[in-house]
Chain A
Amino acid sequence: MRAKVPQQDIKKRIQNFFEVTLGYTKKQAREEAERCLLCKDPLCVKGCPVEIDIPAFIKLIREDKIKEALAKIKERNNLPAVCGRVCPQEEQCEAMCILNKKKIPINIGALERYAADYGRSPVTSRESQVTSKEPETCNLRPATKISVVGSGPAGLTIAADLAKIGYSVTLFESLHLAGGVLSYGIPEFRLPKKIVDEEIAYIKSLGVEIQTNVLVGKTFTIKDLFEKGYPVIFLGLGAGLPQFLNIPGENLGRVYSANEFLTRINLMRAYAFPEYRTPVNIGKKTAVIGGGNVAFDAARCALRLGSEVTIVYRRSEAEMPARSEEIQNARDEGISLQLLSQPVSILGDEHGFVKGLECVKMQLGECDNSGRPRPIMIKDSNFVMDIDTLIVAIGQTPNPLLSKATAELKTNPDGTIVVDKNFMTSIPGVFAAGDIVSGADTVIAAMGAGKKAALAIDEYLRKRVKGQG
């Protein structure tokens, strides 16, 4: 049996924004770690985008060496407390676990989280621990300045990795807090902001300087950064442009993009209004359009603000891209699913606020390019949902602000930035990875890409030094 992870009581948790999943106790973690077969040729590692030595850290947990277990994880992963919480492990490391044959893979995510939460030591001691490593490589790269634009998972990872090698890294963030989607997107009840703050403090302890309130493209241009003496610029801009449905009524009051709704709640803490001054308006009945993690995050936030919530999705539950754990959590909390339904128009009242959502029923047809069955409208199946708040969570694309301001930066028709196999963009010295290159993906995928880009940048700079010398 897999050791069960304790959770906050359902009735209580829907009235607060505290973390739902409480994490393993020492005893439970030991119990779960004991189940690992410590494979010689572990498949789980191949499933991890940053290739954490999973059996090695699990073995250390067994031996009660939690700090050592965390250090082992940190050799590969700069944000373990985040990843242990938000990675879709069921599609990654845990999907590859040999125990899947019996359908009970090791709960690697919960163990990673356990190590991160309980193995924490003061930042200062961690600093010496990390910077003392890899001394010989430091000498090769004497304090070359690197700028990283965007402090989300890709930017944080690459900044940490390059700082560990010995580069002088400055991270630029347009919002007033660092973290990207970790700060504005993922809610407190899935990822406490205190955890994000601590992970960022760790990255700073590696020598990374973080400058917030800098919108590259406006406050500085790419050219300015080169002129400021950064030979390398990494763009980890993410996919932050919200998609809308383009149906009538979308600009009515109380119709939000998930980005706006979640930013108000997570970054601006509108759930604690008026102690925090940013308001959020939520009515009695909310519909959330979409079936991804963002839709579920938005729905569960709306529920915690006292609304009755329905998720409207055009395919069936099996096709939902959200983590199954989150779908279950949402169901437990009383969120209903209106499946196989596609919004066609939003109805408003005389004051300009949403009062209803007209949908049409769908049926599933043949598979499309994404490998999922194509939803097809059923004629004359229209129905109206009685709602007073609508949140649109149908995906994000890259924000075109920087590419518009930088004519030489090549982009694809979908707004993603074109890079070569070494992560270099059409501008020499400018690199990019994460959602800005791949389109919207997971936190860990962005981190995995950031890790590889860090190596590519290091190689580029070494060649450059050689060329000059």
Chain B
Amino acid sequence: MFKILGKSWLSKDTKKFVINAPDIASHTQAGQFVVIVSNKNSERIPLTIADCDRTKGTVSIIFQEVGFSTRELGALNVGDSLRHILGPLGTPTQIENFGTVVCVAGGVGIAEVLPVARSFKKAGNRLLTIIGARTKESIILADELKQASDELFITTDDGSYGKQGLVTDPLKELLTVIEKSTHSKYPNLVYAVGPVAMMRAVSELTQPYSIRTIVSLNPIMVDATGMCGSCRVSVGGKTLFGCVDGPEFDGHLVDFPELEKRLNSFKEKEGCLNKNCPRKM
């Protein structure tokens, strides 16, 4: 069984679970995820592995309660067990010494960027991290990321923490400063994780500078082992599976509008679950 050993609140609606899953812990690499089934009738949902401890045999997940299934998961407590957990899934992040790396994360993406940021730093990169959220209380893991990065920039939509604005603002500023300077170099890699609109904006920003940009996509998944294609995305005109070919792809090649539309596929049904509609059949 997959026992919940720790539960903590990172913000009002963002929770962290530490789960006993030794086989997953011993194989996890940065950028990978798990699929979780909370209870008997639950759906399968993908969640990034935010941290793992090989000696203790645990993995951590951080999730925002955005709908029925994440709320159902959030209702579990220490001592409870997850019905099912499968992982580690997906292709790990390509980690090497690129030179300078900028990690950009928005919302719950901040939790997802932490293991990747740490790995980039460990590989010897100069690491700049930009995190942003709507408001102060949604900024999570700021201390951990500060420790992992050479520089950390924080933005909030309402200006309640860090600079007022979007995560793309510090990135834009950085690129403009470099453009004007004669001695600074462009970052070698930009890594973005968060809402689709944000990953798209980051990719559009870096494209004119030809800075390699990796985005970690979040398409709808079912099995997450490559057998259904629910998570398919168009990358450079080719159809790829988010669960096995990704979840990370070249941001300059991803068809973001298509991804956004596909993410809306089940909106009506999600609404129905949230309102606890009676069964229609």
B195: Cβ under 8 A from any A Cβ: no
Could you tell me if A260 and B228 are in contact, using CB atoms closer than 8 angstroms? yes
Say yes or no for A277: interface residue by CB 8 A criterion.
Answer: yes
Interface status of A373 (Cβ within 8 A of chain B): no
- Cα separation A212 to B225 with both chains bound (whole Å): 13
State whether A275 touches B41 (Cβ < 8 A): yes
Give a binary string over A175-214; 1 marks a CB under 8 Å from any B CB, 0 the rest. Answer: 1100000001000000000000000000000000000111
**Residue in contact with A251 in the complex, picked from B239, B268, B273, CB distance below 8 Å:** B239
**A452-B273 Cα distance, complex, nearest whole Å:** 48
CB distance from B34 to the nearest CB of A (A): 10
Interface residues on A, range: 35 or more
Considering only CB atoms, which chain B residue lies closest to A213 in the complex?
Answer: B86
Contact of A442 with B by CB under 8 A: no
Q: 8 Å CB contacts to A: which residues of B35-61?
A: 37, 41-44
Interface band, chain B: 35 or more
B223 A213 Cβ-Cβ under 8 A: no
**Contact residues, B103-119 vs A (CB, 8 A):** none
Judge whether B265 and A277 touch: CB under 8 Å: no
Bound-state Cα–Cα, A122 to B83, Å: 27
Q: Within residues 407 to 454 of chain A, which ones have a CB less than 8 A from any CB in chain B?
A: none
Q: Is the CB of B261 within 8 A of A219?
A: no
Closest B residue by C-beta to A264: B222
Contacts of A260 in B (CB 8 A): 222, 228-230
| B80 within 8 A of partner (CB) | no
Q: Quick check: is B64 within 8 A (CB to CB) of the other chain?
A: no
The smallest C-beta distance from B40 to any residue of chain A, in angstroms, reads: 9
B276 and A274 contact, CB distance less than 8 A:
yes
A399 at the interface (CB under 8 A from B): yes
Chain B residues numbered 262-276 whose CB sits less than 8 Å from any CB in chain A: 262, 264-266, 268-270, 272-273, 276
B84 lies within 8 A of A272 (CB): no
| Nearest-Cβ distance from residue A354 to partner chain B, whole angstroms | 11
Contact A176 B37 (CB under 8 A): yes
User: Are A242 and B229 neighbours in the complex by a CB distance under 8 Å?
Assistant: yes
Query: Given known contacts A251-B239, A281-B266, is B279 in contact with A275 (CB within 8 Å)?
Result: yes
In the complex, the answer to whether B222 meets A277 with C-beta atoms within 8 Å is no
Residues of chain A within 8 A of B172, CB atoms compared: none
**Scoring A residues 220 to 242 as 1 if CB is less than 8 Å from chain B, else 0, what string do you get?**
11000000000000000000111
Q: Is the CB of B44 within 8 A of A268?
A: yes
Does A399 contact B225, Cβ atoms closer than 8 Å? yes
Residue numbers in B under 8 Å from A352 (CB-CB):
258, 261-262, 264
CB-defined contacts of B279 to chain A, threshold 8 Å = 272-275
* Residues A276 and B41 in contact in the complex (CB < 8 Å), given A241-B227, A281-B269: yes
- Across the interface, B84 reaches (CB within 8 A) one of A213, A240, A264, namely A213
A272 CA to B229 CA, complexed, in Å: 22
B24 within 8 A of A: yes
Which of chain B's residues have a CB closer than 8 A to the CB of A47?
none
Main secondary structure of the interface of A (DSSP, over half): loop
Is A18 an interface residue, CB under 8 A from the partner? no
Chain A nearest CB: distance from B154 CB in Å? 34
Q: Is B89 an interface residue (CB 8 A)?
A: yes
Known: A218-B88, A253-B264. A273 touches B269 (CB 8 A): yes
B281: Cβ under 8 A from any A Cβ: yes
Residues of A within 8 Å of B223, CB to CB, are 174-175, 184, 263
Q: Are A279 and B86 in contact (CB under 8 A)?
A: no
**CB of A42 to closest CB in B, whole Å:** 39
A219-B226 contact, Cβ under 8 Å, with A253-B264, A277-B42: no
Which of B233, B255, B266 has the largest count of A CB atoms less than 10 A from its CB?
A: B266
Question: Of residues 72 to 115 in B, which have CB atoms within 8 Å of A's CB atoms?
Answer: 72, 83-89
Q: With A176-B37, A251-B232 in contact, is A268–B43 under 8 Å at CB? A: yes
Known: A241-B227, A279-B269, A281-B269. A253 touches B261 (CB 8 A): yes
The reply to whether B239 and A244 contact each other, CB–CB distance below 8 Å, is yes
- Name A273's closest neighbour in chain B (CB-CB): B269
Give the Cβ gap from A183 to chain B, nearest Cβ, in Å.
Answer: 12
CA distance A219 to B148 in the complex (A): 28
CA gap between A353 and B269 in the complex, in Å: 15
A244 and B88 contact, Cβ closer than 8 Å, known pairs A251-B239, A273-B269, A401-B244: no
**Per-residue 0/1 for B23-37: is the Cβ within 8 Å of any A Cβ (1 yes, 0 no)?**
110010000000001
Within 8 A of B (CB), among A351-401: 351-353, 399-401
6 closest A-B pairs by CB: A352-B261, A279-B269, A260-B228, A240-B227, A278-B43, A176-B84
11 A-B interface contacts by CB (under 8 A): A174-B225, A176-B44, A213-B84, A213-B85, A219-B87, A251-B262, A253-B265, A257-B229, A263-B223, A263-B228, A352-B262
Q: A263-B228, A277-B42 are in contact. List 15 more A-B contacts (CB 8 A).
A: A176-B86, A218-B88, A242-B227, A251-B232, A256-B230, A259-B228, A272-B281, A273-B269, A273-B279, A276-B43, A277-B41, A277-B68, A277-B69, A279-B273, A280-B269
